[in-house]
């Protein structure tokens, strides 16, 4: 994470909706096919709902069929942090916002070219700024 000022739990709860807080601050997951961006086709930049860091460009979004917004690459690799996640009896790679530590989702090695990666991201962790 960056050297940005850290917020208290109370400050995060005040800033975020209950769902945004559960996903980003408690590593939750929204149910598939329910988030506002899973079927969104608008052009723009997907930014972190917690700190406004630009994370994913709509030009890298693709239809994965998973029920969550999926991207084949972040806007800038240095803006995301990948951590090993061994919760729920699985081994996965968690994707977090490097600026504020928000849980965004997970990345899997089954995406399209050119990266072969699928960043499976919760809508609740994102804010789309349309072009």
Strand partners, 8: none
Whether 40 is a known active-site residue: answer: no
Q: Which residue in 50, 97, 100, 120 is the catalytic one?
A: 120
DSSP class of residue 79? G
Query: In sequence order, which residues have a C-beta less than 8 Å from that of residue 30 and are 6 or more positions away?
Result: 19, 23, 68, 122, 123, 124
Token output for 49: 């709902």
Positions marked catalytic: 120
């Amino acid at each position: 994470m960056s050297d940005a000022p850290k917020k208290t739990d109370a400050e995060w709860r005040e800033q975020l909706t209950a769902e945004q807080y559960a996903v980003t601050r408690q590593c939750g997951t929204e149910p598939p096919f329910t988030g506002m961006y899973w079927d969104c086709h608008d052009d723009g930049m997907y930014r972190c709902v917690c700190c406004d860091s630009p994370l994913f460009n709509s030009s890298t979004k693709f239809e994965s069929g998973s029920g969550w917004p999926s991207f084949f690459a972040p806007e800038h690799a240095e803006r995301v942090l990948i951590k090993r996640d061994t919760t729920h009896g699985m081994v996965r790679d968690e994707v977090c916002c490097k600026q504020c530590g928000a849980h965004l989702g997970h990345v899997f090695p089954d995406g399209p070219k050119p990266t072969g990666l699928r960043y499976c991201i919760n809508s609740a962790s994102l804010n789309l700024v349309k072009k």
